[in-house]
Structure 1
Amino acid sequence: MTRARRTRGPRILAGPVTRLAHAIVLADGWRRAGIALLAGAASALAMAPLNAWPILFVTIPVAVWLIDGSASGRWSGAWSAAVAGWCFGFGYFVAGVYWVGYAFLVDAKTFGWLLPVAVAGLPAYLALYTGLGFAAARLVWVRGPHRLLALAIALSCGEWLRGHLLTGFPWNAFGYALTQPLAMAQSVSLVGIWGLTFLALLIFATPATLADDSADTRHPYRPLALALVALAGLFAYGAARLSMHPTTYVKDLKLRIMQPNLQQDARFNYAAKNEVMARYLTLSDRATGPQSNGVRDANILIWPESAFPFFLTREPDALAQIVNLIRPGTRLITGAVRPGNAPGAKGPRAYNSVYVIDPDGSIGGIYDKLHLVPFGEFLPFQSFMERLGFQQLTKEVGGFLTGSRRRAMDVPGAPKMLPLICYEAVFPDEAVPAGERPGWLINLTNDGWFGISSGPYQHFHQARVLAIAEGLPMVRAANTGISGVIDPVGRVTASLPLGVEGVIDANLPQALGPTVFSKYGNLPFLLFLIITTLSLGRRRFRA
């Protein structure tokens, strides 16, 4: 149901859907903004941990009707759509990433006053991309079902930009709605998360045609029927892929993942050094059954991100304790802050790193984090902001140094490993560089910043989707959880829940061959855009 002018309403078909659409199209001012805000907030229910994705069959049509109701005129209509899109996005991101505010309460005396900025400021920025998507859609808007293509093209491009500009933040891209249940998630191995985002927007927008004028849509139920067929196709493909790839394991390789569940104040307090080491050593050697020999049963012991409140390589007593723990034949993979130097720096600088520690205590491999978290690990315009008295959450003067490149690492007795620190696991375009295909992915993280909230569940789910997209197993060690082992089609073979301490003893799943996504990246997404843009252009030319 479209309308060319605000002053002339469309012919309305009878029925509750049509009456709802009519009310949304004709809404104005604060009422229109409120509808967009509520629809966006409800859309967040489609993401983890609820995964209530059918809600998008209600909320995405609202987006269509909001654009239908935008003002007449090319640029005034785009501006009106942009405002509605910003309100929709603001509601979506406030409801979906509210948990970012928890990080500012870890040291409330220092950062608590920034809580409103975090809870509202980040969503306000992210919503700009949603507003841009709505505006771009309005510029190429047409009557009838083809306008759904306009929304899918424009908003999926806006989502892609959100995932890349200004270091990027692709968290909760709309495509994640099509990754639960597990069978439906398998299509990410073909088209990637941006291709799924395009499909999700197109599929979930189809109920909007049920309220269309008969002059615009002769068969208003056809788009919805095709969407349901597409969903069934995604599920059938996924079920077949799962049946073809049962979980198999790397022979003679056993992992032990330690989840310490330490409070944040202990993790960054040098005075807690002994407490931290005692917790790690005790947990790592904990027996998990009557036949368990603790860490001696494992070939690889894994600790989470930034595990120590000190520079490990400058604490020989801590290294000695690790050597006594792991014994010959076992290696430790751990997160650690690594000292580094920067030209012109006034004081010591550091990397957020991963160490592979050999049985004799030597460092067998190092990876330095490449994709740092803005405001957490560095500040934009770092020197200027520090002169104003600001500091990032980790309080690292000058911010963390950036690693040189992402690369696979050799771990004796195991396939090549590719480390991902913290939210590096949610950037599908850069997680596994060309020519660096490993045998497994390891994600060391500290989601303790975000408490018992939806954030750690979303992080775990997005790491799981990356494993499916690449056809690689994922091993995840998180300070407060969720830690686990995920096979290359997304089955969770072992895990520890959020907010508990413990260890996981598990085997490493074997990798699959390269997926379509790992070979061709976003080419399927680009083809979607080209084909549908040509179809939309043909429709506009005919009109």
Structure 2
Amino acid sequence: MLSLSQKVILAEGWTRRLIAFFGGAIGVLALAPFSFFPAFFVPMTLAVWLIDGSSGESLWASLRRAAGAGWWLGFGYFVAGLWWLGVAFLTDADRFAWALPLGVVGLPAGLAIFTGLGFALARLLWSPGAARIFALAAGLSAAEWIRGHVLTGFPWNDFGMALGANPVFAQFASVGGLYSLTVLSVLLFSTPALFGAGKSSRRVLVVSLAAFLALALFGAVRLQDKTDSVKGVKLRVIQANVANDEFRVDRKAELLERYLKLSDRSTSPQTTGLSDVTHVFWSESVFPFLLSRDPASLSTIASRMQNAILFAGAARAESAGGHTKYFNSLAVIQRGEIKEYFDKMHLTPFGEYMPFANVLARVGLTQFAWSPGAFDAGQYSRVLTAPGLPAVFPLICYESIFPEEVAERLSDLNARPGMMLNVTNDGWFGVTTGPYQHLSQARLRAIEQGLPMARAANTGVSAIIDPYGRLVASTSLGVEAVLDGSLPKALPATFYSQHWRLAPAVAWLIVLVGALIRPRKI
């Protein structure tokens, strides 16, 4: 009787494709909100066997067969992990429902090309025995890094999140960042494929088990640390849960009143309203109008916010030379005056600008997010400042999923900030797994940098996160909520924050050396 590994290796046609597809889909259970990391053993173990079964009459035939299996595994993983994108197309169904397959099937199909590339790279390095899991780690981690950078990048649900979604294992991100976790995830979760494969494989299995235990011990010890709070700072995060169809200019007074009432809500005997709060955070794109050009609204904010300082998402316009630019921005407002702005630097394709806009407009596809025109990208990294608060490093929407961009922007600053602020509107995606995945990736940035984070999300999940990635306080998804809490103190600069270019390079070098231990045999 054939073993399970032999059945997978010898599988052909649609049997082989379906094994890869469903194996990839099962791996999504390792991500938020499930965070069941053992699920990732399935796709990575199958990946080894599928590449084992990729022999062909020539090198090119072998690579094609491996890439095909990788594409199907990636397709299953991304369909199961990103299906919630389809909800955005139903927000304005009359205009966008026809394009729903582009998000639910088209994007996963495109992203799966990178997984296919990773399988092909691994096949180039393939050899018998334990070295082949190093080849897989080298190929897939390189492909995931490319996915995070090419065409502005989209590292959402990077394979490293199989470890990164677990608060204990995620602590290693303070040393090596997301892409080192990617290398480790592929390497460690593929080791079951080595069972019964000889003495050298048994040694690798022992080392793998020791690595899991070491990661768990490192994380557990690190999580024993307590964090103090910044004295005199009382934060309030507002989750207004505004539906997208309510976000209209004709309802601007009603929307502003809703935010102001929530901001002054009594939540406990110790916090009876704005008089007991120092800083208030509203979510991304709160206003369906240009706040800087609406003195009446600014006057209303001044009269109602008392002495609290407000951080709020607010689109802004800038005119020069007869041309007007629009920015998705975060404003600091004190006594009704906008003191500072940060303009979002990494715009969301299709949400805030349209790649190939002229072509896509002909088929009726335009950007989803409200804007008087297509948004322009901000050009400068900066911190925002407010009395009583440490310097704030702003991240608007999915800027929080790019580990190296965050690290580079922070390294460009003159001084290390005391916190990060992530404002977002995940209301496009309803009560699905998407907002939980977004939160999971944002909290990994806190661990990488050793900085606390306040997170204001229109529909959730809003949170105050300490520099170890622990949720000091958080809301439920899809509800109106007011979140109060103190601000945890930042940690000293982490190893990753100081050596973010070096960390993944070292990890790749290690797996590449491991893959080349034995002579190539294709």
Shorter-normalised TM range: over 0.9
- The aligned residue for residue 98 of structure 1 is 83
Is 1:324 aligned to 2:303, yes or no? yes
- The aligned residue for residue 419 of structure 1 is 394
2-structure distance, mates of 1:542, 1:116: 41
Equivalent residue for 2:376, pick from 387, 401, 404 = 401
**Deviations 1:96-142 (Å, cap 9, x if unpaired)?**
01111111111000011111111001101110100000011111110
Equivalent residue for 1:258, pick from 227, 233, 238 = 238
Aligned pairs for 1:11-410 within 5 A: 19-72=3-56, 73-212=58-197, 217-218=198-199, 220-243=201-224, 245-267=225-247, 269-328=248-307, 330-341=308-319, 349-359=325-335, 361-386=336-361, 389-394=364-369, 396=371, 398-410=373-385
Amino acid at match of 1:487: D
2-structure distance, mates of 1:276, 1:351: 21
User: Is the 2:137–2:183 Cα contact (8 Å) retained in structure 1?
Assistant: yes
> How far apart are 1:438 and its partner, in Å?
1.0
2-structure distance, mates of 1:87, 1:344: 50
Q: 1:191 to 1:259 in 2, by over 3 A?
A: same
1-structure distance, mates of 2:45, 2:321: 54
> How far apart are 1:467 and its partner, in Å?
0.2
Q: 1:343 to 1:47 in 2, by over 3 A?
A: farther
2-structure distance, mates of 1:490, 1:509: 11
1-structure distance, mates of 2:286, 2:417: 24
User: Is the 1:104–1:111 Cα contact (8 Å) retained in structure 2?
Assistant: yes
Amino acid at match of 1:49: P
Amino acid at match of 2:484: D
2-structure distance, mates of 1:397, 1:31: 50
- The alignment partner of 1:363 has SS state of strand
User: Is the 1:349–1:397 Cα contact (8 Å) retained in structure 2?
Assistant: no
> How far apart are 1:341 and its partner, in Å?
3.8
User: Is the 1:391–1:397 Cα contact (8 Å) retained in structure 2?
Assistant: no
Amino acid at match of 1:376: G
Is 1:517 aligned to 2:496, yes or no? yes
Q: Gaps spanning 5+ residues in structure 2: where?
A: none
User: Is the 1:75–1:139 Cα contact (8 Å) retained in structure 2?
Assistant: no
Q: 1:114 to 1:211 in 2, by over 3 A?
A: farther
Amino acid at match of 1:133: G
- The aligned residue for residue 9 of structure 1 is none
**Deviations 1:51-75 (Å, cap 9, x if unpaired)?**
1110122221101100000132211
> How far apart are 1:413 and its partner, in Å?
1.4
Q: Gaps spanning 5+ residues in structure 1: where?
A: 1-13
Return the TM-score normalized by structure 1.
0.92
Q: 1:390 to 1:340 in 2, by over 3 A?
A: farther
2-structure distance, mates of 1:30, 1:379: 36
Amino acid at match of 2:246: A
Structure 1 stretch displaced more, 218-227 or 461-470: 218-227
Q: CA RMSD in A?
A: 1.7
1-structure distance, mates of 2:332, 2:35: 36
Count the aligned residue pairs: 517
> How far apart are 1:536 and its partner, in Å?
2.6
User: Is the 1:494–1:506 Cα contact (8 Å) retained in structure 2?
Assistant: yes
Deviation above 6 Å: which 4+ runs of structure 1?
none
Amino acid at match of 1:129: F
User: Identity over aligned residues, as a percent?
Assistant: 46
- The aligned residue for residue 5 of structure 1 is none
